[in-house]
Structure 1
Amino acid sequence: MKAQGLTRAAMAAEMETSRAQLNRVLDPEASNVTLDTLSRAARVLGRSLKVELV
């Protein structure tokens, strides 16, 4: 987020979600985050989400 110059509030707005939901996404202890939410967060940061089962 820092590299993109985004605050948590701005990133939440870009993701079309609440700041509380973004806080859950960024919480390493969170266990109830969907792949869709992670994908939207990655997109806002100019990245993509890759899930791999090995």
Structure 2
Amino acid sequence: MKRKHIGSSFDGFLREESLLEHSTTIAVKRIIAWQIEREMEKQKLTKTSMAKKMHTSRAALNRLLDESDTSLTLITLASAATALGKSIKFELKAA
């Protein structure tokens, strides 16, 4: 019995199974949510006060902080960064 994935990288396995993009998206969203929550704690901001600073609803902030909700818009992310006094840095790099 030949094993298909012996010796392949995990990214290679995910790519072969058409799961790499989805897995990457979830990982990035978890990092973003974690960084925002950490900064909110550091600045002692409640969800209600953060939502007010973002000029949005608490429900929208909850979606931003939901690690499994990958429907993040750049405007929401920019609004959160501004509310926290931070900037955003994106970078495309070779795969």
Q: Which amino acid aligns with 1:2?
A: E
Which residue is 1:19 aligned to?
58
Question: So what's the TM-score if we normalise by structure 1?
Answer: 0.89
Larger Rg: 2
Long gaps (5+) in structure 1: none
Long gaps (5+) in structure 2: 1-39
**Pairing 1:35-54 to 2, within 5 Å after superposition:** 35-54=74-93
Kindly provide the CA deviation profile for residues 1-54 of structure 1, in whole angstroms up to 9, marking residues without a partner as x: 011111000000110100000001111111111011001101111211111111
What's the RMSD between the two structures over aligned residues?
0.9
Flag as ranges the 4+ runs of structure 1 deviating above 2 A.
none
Identity %: 52
Secondary structure of the residue aligned to 1:2 is: helix
Question: So what's the TM-score if we normalise by structure 2?
Answer: 0.54
Higher helix proportion, which one?
A: 2
